[in-house]
Amino acid sequence: MKLLFFVRNIVINEKNRTNITKHSHDFHEILYCTESNSTIITSGDLLFYPAGQDHFISYEKGNQIKLYQLYFSEELFSTSVNIEKEALYILGQIKLYLKKGNLLRLSRIGSERILKLFESMRWEFTKRYRGYSWTIRLKLIELLVTVIRDREFKLPIRGEMGKPLSNSHIQDVLLYLDADYMNRITIENVLQFSPLSRSHFHALFKKETGETFIGYLNKLRCEKACEMLVATDDTVLDISLKAGFNNLSHFCHTFKEIKGISPTKFRSQAMMRNPVLV
């Protein structure tokens, strides 16, 4: 059965630290530190590991770290329910932010709110009274909102030549594209959460980014493909699908048009420059 959510308390110390090895899983993991004598992970720290990312918990000899641990799958939320669709969008913003690192140090107020939410989710998960799953789902949405609203959560979105974007609607669209580029995206998808008309959107998008909507999306997908070509040994076909292209032929044509070389040649040249990646 697919894991949708799981929450518990864990302790990392000398007795069990050898079990904390590098690993990944097909669900998201959030850790909240409640008590620690470590200088790496301190009380109030939030660690967020997206699905599929290899990770481990840094540990110093003699330390003891107490944590809340939450696992959840994106399948917990439905795109047909507005509040849950919004939760997936917020989650996408957080995943974009996590390119800076998995450790989130929030403000004191934000950290205190996160602690209360974890305590509540743990209680609901343990007692499992009627409606507990919906309560946890709502608490999780509140947790995600608390993170992105925190004053320490800063996510600059920039357009052409690194200039800050002046329009918040276009910022939202770029966040959405970066979070969901691997899936099928149409202009109709974007206009669902934008108050702009189709013609106004296209004109404003071009002004802010210097690219057409399709041009920007294709470049974004090719950049993601470049990362996978260098960092993984996946086939070019698999990478094309993971990057959001419908078929291999379209991917290869678009990639060569943007990068000037084929995906296979790009990979071989990257490996020649960085043999340690082989």
Q: List, for residues 52-110, the tens digit of each pLDDT value.
A: 888 877 777 788 899 999 999 988 887 677 677 778 878 887 887 776 678 888 899 99
Q: Which residue has the higher pLDDT, 43 or 156?
A: 43
Burial class, 132, CB count within 10 angstroms (exposed 0-12 / middle 13-18 / buried 19+): middle
Which of these, 83, 68, 80, lies nearest to 145 by C-alpha position?
A: 83
Q: Pairing mode, if any, of strands 103-104 and 5-12?
A: unpaired
pLDDT of res. 17: 62
Instruction: Give the tokens for residue 172.
Output: 């939202």
Out of 124, 149, 174, pick the residue that ends a domain: 149
Top-confidence residue, 240 or 79: 240
Domain boundary among 126, 149, 172: 149
> Are residues 139 and 50 part of one domain?
yes
In tens, the pLDDT along 156-185 reads 544 444 444 445 678 778 877 877 888 888
Pairing type for strands 65-72 and 46-49 reads unpaired
Give the mean pLDDT of 40-58. 87
| CB neighbours of residue 131 within 10 Å | 10
Q: What is the domain range of residue 56?
A: 5-149
**Total number of domains constituting the chain:** 3
Angstrom distance (rounded) from CA 98 to CA 16? 27
Same domain, yes or no, for 129 and 207?
no
The model's confidence at residue 276, banded by pLDDT at 50, 70 and 90, is very low
Please tell me whether the overall predicted TM-score, pTM, comes out greater than 0.85 for this model: no
Choose one of 149, 176, 196: the last residue of a domain.
149
Same domain, 26 and 135: yes
Burial of 101 (0-12, 13-18, 19+ CB in 10 A): exposed
Question: How much is the average pLDDT of 1-23?
Answer: 76
Residue 8 has pLDDT above 90, yes or no: yes
Whether 206 and 238 map to the same domain: the answer is no
* pLDDT over 70 (residue 278): no
Per-residue confidence (pLDDT) for residue 130, from 0 to 100: 92
Helices (H), 50-131: 82-97, 108-127
* DSSP conformational letter for 12: E
- Contact status, residue 55 vs residue 49, Cβ threshold 8 Å: yes
Residues 37 and 84 reside in one and the same domain: yes
Q: How many Cα atoms sit within 13 Å of 121 on the Cβ side?
A: 26
Do 117 and 10 reside in the same domain of the chain?
Answer: yes
The domain that contains 137 carries what CATH number? 2.60.120.280
pLDDT digits (tens, 9 = 90+) for 107-163: 999 999 999 999 999 999 999 999 999 999 999 999 998 998 888 887 654 444 444
pLDDT in tens, 203-225: 999 988 899 999 999 999 999 99
